[in-house]
Amino acid sequence: MNKFSFIILLFLVLTSCEKEVAWTFEASDSRIVVDGIFTNVKRSHLIRITKSVSELNEAPKPVSGAFVTIYNGDSIHILTESPENSGIYKTDSNYIALLNKIYRLQILYEGERYTASARMIPVTPFKKLSYTYNSNNNLYYIDSVSRSFSSRESAMYEVIIDWSHLPDYADLPFIEKRAVLYYYTLKTIDISQVFASEKETVYFPKGARILERKYSLAPQHAEFIRSLLSETEWRGGFFDVTQANVHTNISNGGLGYFGASTVIIDTLLVQ
């Protein structure tokens, strides 16, 4: 009898219905949202600053005219907004972040001061990703990049797949011949992560070029990623956690995250 009751209960859980819910938001003053990662790659690094929104799918407005600086303990670097009125603030093209340095971001905007700090830690070498051939459509897909859990380190993987150079795809829109995927290794395991909804499989042809970047994540940065995934990719399963604010290191009521990561890069050709 107990076994029969368990089967009935399991059936009710798996076949539970869904209903539409109208989301309501309390009116509140918009807050600034900061997005930026400084790395050990010599290039122009950027900080994107926007205003928070109160409607689903609403386009965020850029924060223009802010005074943005980076201090690494030795020198102060002033970022320039480019293009104008974009809310994107850039360093010069020769900027490079250094290992174990603490980088302090400061934003002065409309009489308010926002700060954040990040320390760049090392990253371990990565194992090359693997991909598999699908005989049903004669295309390939990525089957392994990283383990979702590691007691050694937290890391972010950015995988850029590009097949726009192949003649058979020359006439397609650019968005249909290039894909950018993100994977994460964290030191925590969440029930909502284990039972998260399946992702769309991205297929690509033979001859595609793959660029893989691995980013180190300091503990605070990893906590931001974990809280962000809990509210996005890990939602929609049977074991969703209680909704909560996404972690941030921006002071004075700011949102988003400023980080510093060591990056290693690898490339491969699908063949």
pLDDT at 32 over 70: yes
Please, which contacts does 60-68 make with residues 24 or more away whose CB atoms are closer than 8 Å?
Answer: 60/33, 61/87, 62/86, 62/87, 62/88, 63/32, 63/87, 63/109, 65/109, 66/107, 66/108, 66/109, 67/107, 67/108, 67/109, 68/105, 68/106, 68/107, 68/108
Residues 139-190: tens digit of each pLDDT: 999 998 987 777 789 999 999 999 999 999 999 999 999 999 999 989 877 6
- Percentage, residues of the chain above pLDDT 70: 84
Instruction: Enumerate the domain spans of the chain.
Output: 32-119, 130-269
Q: What is the pLDDT of residue 248?
A: 95
Contact predicate 225/217, CB 8 Å: yes
Residues 228-265: tens digit of each pLDDT: 888 777 776 666 666 778 899 999 999 999 999 999 99
- Where does the pLDDT of residue 1 fall: very low under 50, low under 70, confident under 90, or very high at 90 and above? very low
Distance, CA of 60 to CA of 210 (rounded, Å): 31
Q: What is the pLDDT of residue 14?
A: 52
Rounded (5°) CA angle 222-72-104: 50
**Does the reported pTM lie above 0.85?**
no
Residues 87-114: tens digit of each pLDDT: 999 999 999 999 999 999 999 999 999 9
Structural class in CATH, domain 32-119: mainly beta
* Residue 177 exposure: Cα atoms within 13 Å on the Cβ side: 16
Kindly report the three-state secondary structure assignment for every residue of 114-133.
EEEEEECCCCCCCCCCEEEE
